[in-house]
């Protein structure tokens, strides 16, 4: 039955119904409330009055919260009587995003909204690890990846929604997270129907640290818009080996983790680096990382050129069989066709 409105514009259900319209208002439990900033809440709050079957406003977003109001709101939440409007779901999701476990268990969020939370949180934790590649940061990143892998094993099609959010922001600072998640997406597409959680978790970590050696390269060299000198190019080509050194220091010895790090710049015809590997010497995960890294670079804008449209980047990779595994490239194209609007030129 349709929700009615009172003079304040607050929803009211007909008396024959049992509660507020869950499609327009959602309950806030104490665990979610604990994620809110204590001094100012991010959304309007409403109290469900059981006696008159009506939602009544109790707080407007942005107003200061004193101790008395905080106690009242907590009591309403504990009684199951505190609600917010889904018109403010973006503000709500942004607030709970930094509490990943809480956000993933929140029935108020759709998978599209949870995917956005994942992208934001994985970006943050990956950046923290690259900024300080130590055990604590690695553990934080690994936990978030494990949560993502659980959801993807349940339904690998969810990866298309994640990729949709990636393609909405192709800024240079997002190239790392975009390449990591696209590598994971291609792997899932190639192995759909035969994914084991423990294997996927290890593979995902390898894709998320594949470019870790870049932290040992001068930031000035990375940011330079003009071409590098031969000496600088030689230094840049050492970053996969430097990445392996970092993995060894962290006791990351699994081949599924080390292969993407060491081989994401190798090419099938032997023209890549650092080892000049060719053909069968390049592993399956190395080939996936190479395609995903190149794709991410091609769709990312730079100072000297704009990024390519996804459809054009994918087409170039498919046509370059001397450098890239064509089975992997075609899997990328097939996956992109499942992502909303990805292959539509803007």
pLDDT at 1: 30
* Domains of the chain: residue spans and CATH: 4-97 (no CATH), 110-336 (1.10.3210.10)
pLDDT at 102: 80
Return d(Cα 102, Cα 114) in angstroms, integer: 11
pLDDT at 190: 96
pLDDT at 225: 64
> What number is the average pLDDT over the span 94-112?
81
Taking CA atoms, 103 is separated from 56, 100, 109, in Å, by 26, 5, 8
Structure-model confidence comparison of residues 16 and 118, the more confident one = 118
pLDDT tens for 58-81 read 999 999 999 999 999 999 999 999
pLDDT tens for 137-177 read 999 999 999 999 999 999 999 999 999 988 877 777 888 99
pLDDT at 304: 67
Return d(Cα 260, Cα 136) in angstroms, integer: 22
Structure-model confidence comparison of residues 240 and 15, the more confident one = 240
Structure-model confidence comparison of residues 108 and 127, the more confident one = 127
The least confident of 105-114, 248-257, 289-298, 337-346 is: 337-346
pLDDT at 112: 87
Q: Does the pLDDT value for residue 273 go beyond 90?
A: yes
H-only helix segments in 97-223: 100-105, 111-131, 135-154, 158-167, 175-190, 197-208, 219-223
Q: How confident is the model at residue 320 (pLDDT cuts 50, 70, 90)?
A: very high
Q: How confident is the model at residue 335 (pLDDT cuts 50, 70, 90)?
A: very high
Q: How confident is the model at residue 14 (pLDDT cuts 50, 70, 90)?
A: very low
pLDDT tens for 174-196 read 889 999 999 999 999 999 888 89
pLDDT at 289: 98
Structure-model confidence comparison of residues 330 and 172, the more confident one = 330
Question: If you average pLDDT over each of 81-95, 99-113, 263-277, which comes out highest?
Answer: 263-277
Tracing tokens 């600072």 back to the chain, one arrives at 173
Nearest 5 degrees, angle CA 222-CA 228-CA 232?
80
CA end-to-end span of the chain: 40
pLDDT at 93: 80
> What number is the average pLDDT over the span 249-253?
97
CB 130 within 8 A of CB 242: no
Counting residues of the chain whose pLDDT is more than 70, the rounded percentage is 90
For residue 240, give the H/E element and its range.
helix 239-249
Q: How confident is the model at residue 288 (pLDDT cuts 50, 70, 90)?
A: very high
Question: If you average pLDDT over each of 5-9, 92-96, 119-123, 258-262, which comes out highest?
Answer: 258-262
Exposed e or buried b per residue across 101-136, where buried means at least 16 C-beta atoms within 10 angstroms of its C-beta: ebbbebebbeeebbbbbbbbbbbbbbebbbeebeee
Return d(Cα 52, Cα 155) in angstroms, integer: 42
Mean pLDDT, rounded, of the chain: 87
pLDDT at 91: 86
Structure-model confidence comparison of residues 31 and 44, the more confident one = 44
pLDDT at 340: 78
pLDDT at 346: 36
């Amino acid at each position: 039955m349709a929700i009615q409105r009172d003079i304040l514009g607050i929803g009211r259900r007909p008396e024959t119904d049992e509660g507020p319209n869950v499609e327009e208002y959602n309950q806030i439990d104490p665990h979610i409330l604990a994620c809110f900033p204590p001094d100012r809440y991010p959304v309007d709050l409403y109290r469900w009055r059981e006696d008159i079957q009506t939602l009544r406003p109790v707080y407007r977003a942005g107003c200061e919260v004193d101790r008395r109001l905080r106690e009242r709101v907590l009591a309403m939440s504990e009684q199951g009587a505190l609600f917010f409007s889904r018109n403010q779901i973006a503000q709500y999701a942004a607030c709970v995003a930094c509490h990943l476990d809480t956000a993933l268990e929140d029935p108020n969020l759709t998978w599209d909204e949870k995917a956005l939370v994942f992208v934001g949180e994985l970006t943050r934790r990956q950046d923290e690890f690259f900024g300080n590649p130590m055990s604590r940061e690695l553990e934080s990143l690994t936990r978030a990846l494990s949560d993502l892998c659980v959801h993807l094993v349940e339904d690998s099609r969810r990866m298309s929604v994640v990729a949709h959010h990636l393609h909405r922001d192709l800024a240079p600072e997002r190239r790392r997270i975009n390449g990591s998640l696209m590598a994971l997406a291609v792997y899932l597409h190639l192995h759909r129907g035969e994914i084991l959680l423990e294997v996927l978790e290890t593979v995902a970590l390898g894709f998320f640290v594949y470019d870790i050696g870049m932290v040992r390269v001068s930031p000035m060299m990375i940011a330079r818009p003009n071409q590098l000198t031969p000496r600088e190019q030689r230094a840049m080509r050492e970053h996969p080996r430097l990445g392996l050194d970092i993995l060894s220091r962290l006791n990351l010895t699994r081949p599924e983790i080390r292969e993407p790090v060491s081989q994401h710049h190798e090419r099938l015809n032997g023209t890549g680096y650092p080892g000049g590997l060719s053909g069968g010497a390049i592993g399956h995960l190395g080939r996936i990382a190479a395609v995903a890294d190149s794709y991410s670079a091609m769709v990312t804008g730079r100072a000297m050129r704009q990024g390519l449209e996804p459809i054009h980047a994918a087409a170039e990779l498919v046509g370059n069989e001397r450098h890239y595994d064509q089975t992997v490239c075609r899997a990328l194209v097939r996956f992109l066709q499942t992502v909303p609007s990805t292959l539509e030129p803007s």
